[in-house]
Amino acid sequence: MSSIHQSHDQNAALQAGMNTAKATAIHQQPSAPLVLLLATGAGLSVASLYYSQPMLGILAKDIGVSNLQIGYVPTLTQLGYALGILLLAPLGDRHDRRNIILIKAGLLVVALLAMASSHSLGILLMASLAIGLTATMAQDIVPAAATLAHESRRGKVVGTVMTGLLMGILMSRVVSGFVAEQFGWRSMFVLAALGIALIAVAIWHGLPHFVPTTTMSYRALLASLLDLVRRHGKLRRAALAQGLLAMGFSGFWSTLAVMLHAEPFHMGSAAAGAFGLAGAVGALAAPLAGHLADKRGPELVTKLGAGLTAVSFAIMNLSPWFPPTAQLWLLGIGTVGFDLGVQSTLIAHQTIVYGIDNGARSRLNAVLFVGMFIGMAAGATLGSALLAQWGWIGVTSMATVTALAALAVRFWKLPAGQA
């Protein structure tokens, strides 16, 4: 009888412990307004990378350069972002993330205003590089959200912030296309600078300070990135696969405005930006991939995402055999598909990478995104060259091949014992 009572007491204690843990988890969650602030900050900062894309045709005409030369604008922006993640993101483990976010926000405002006042290709390119470097504040905001959230609900909080980031990427094209056509392209960058300034004030008031997690020197932090790449096969495969998907993603978006500006469409920047609405459908659906990754595993989601991306770009290869109106429908359908595929795969890759080493989450995230944005920079350059040489079919063919290569990487079996 005593054993029954003992068992009952143990169960009661266990249940009480679970209830306490649950209450603690709820208590440690960042407030809904703070999560919304972080999601908005991530979205606005990363949007700075993409404002130029729908108006490249207008930019080329206004500055007086060729379509090939103006293609270096998104290339340098993406390259700057990759360099910023590599050289600056690891500092989040060494210094107060709140201070880093605020410093980058101030510098991003300056870079955006420099972009707005550019009158030559050289100034435009330097400002583009600076925007890429400082827009990495988004990659400080996401780890900040993960740190504020209790482990039991970290995925939900990070997923919400990532949704804001993805929406910033896609809706930036809609907004910039409209603003550029109605008020001029310079107005868009002034408006973007104002948005970053306002979000910086809100973050200054609402975001708490963070305690550094390491005392490693800057050189040691950078060296640890290479060590992580050497030791973890899962990290290498995630960075490579996401980089390959990013090549096609960036190649498409960096050339779409130029393609639509030419025959047979003769469409302005607003039309190119409107395709961001189709991409936003994919971004909104992408959080479902996180739920599927929890239930069936992130490995499956990476394969499904890469496969959907390849099929979506392959559909666009059929465009030359259809009239212009049907071509636009194919573009819209393909855009929804490949954006969903790319964003779903990214969320799954983050799930894989964050599980490798909890103590190095910022640096693991840096490696993943460096691979991704190197792919984006390469895709922007290659896409512009292919469009000039082979037309739109060259761009979509490249994107199809890189998506298939990413799918092959995901099916490639790691050696036994690789972590």
Digit-coded pLDDT (tens) for 121-138: 999 999 999 999 999 999
CA distance 287 to 359: 25
- Give the per-residue pLDDT at 305: 94
Q: Are 346 and 354 in contact (CB under 8 A)?
A: no
Euclidean distance between the first and final Cα of the chain, in Å? 49
- Give the per-residue pLDDT at 324: 79
Kindly give, in sequence order, each residue whose CB lies less than 8 Å from that of residue 364, ignoring residues fewer than 6 positions away.
228, 232, 235, 353, 354, 356, 357
- Give the per-residue pLDDT at 11: 47
Q: Where are the domains of the chain?
A: 30-411
Residue 198 has pLDDT above 70, yes or no: yes
Architecture of the structural domain at 30-411: Up-down Bundle (1.20)
Q: Is 331 helix (H, G, I), strand (E, B) or coil?
A: helix
Distances in Å between the Cα of 213 and the Cα atoms of 92, 93, 94, 217, 231 are: 9, 5, 6, 12, 21
pTM: 0.74
| DSSP result, 261-322 | HSTTT---HHHHHHHHHHHHHHHHHTHHHHHHHHHH-HHHHHHHHHHHHHHHHHHHTTGGGS
Residue 112 has pLDDT above 80, yes or no: yes
CA distance 270 to 277: 11
- Give the per-residue pLDDT at 395: 94
Average pLDDT over residues 157-179: 82
pLDDT digits (tens, 9 = 90+) for 73-94: 988 998 898 889 889 988 888 8
Q: Residue 129 has which token pair?
A: 């590089």
Average pLDDT over residues 344-372: 84
Residues 257-284 as b or e (16 or more Cβ within 10 Å = b): bbbbbeeeeebbbbbbbbbbebbbbbbb
Q: Residue 291 has which token pair?
A: 């739920």
- Give the per-residue pLDDT at 357: 80
Residue 13 has pLDDT above 50, yes or no: no
- Please give the single-letter amino acid code of residue 189: F
pLDDT digits (tens, 9 = 90+) for 93-107: 888 989 999 999 999
pLDDT digits (tens, 9 = 90+) for 297-326: 889 999 999 999 999 999 998 877 888 788
pLDDT digits (tens, 9 = 90+) for 249-286: 999 988 887 888 777 777 766 676 677 677 677 666 66
Peptide bond into 323 cis (omega under 30): no
- Give the per-residue pLDDT at 22: 41
* Most confident residue range from 121-125, 211-215, 342-346, 349-353: 121-125
Q: Are 254 and 383 in contact (CB under 8 A)?
A: yes
Residue 9 has pLDDT above 60, yes or no: no
Kindly give, in sequence order, each residue whose CB lies less than 8 Å from that of residue 416, ignoring residues fewer than 6 positions away.
none
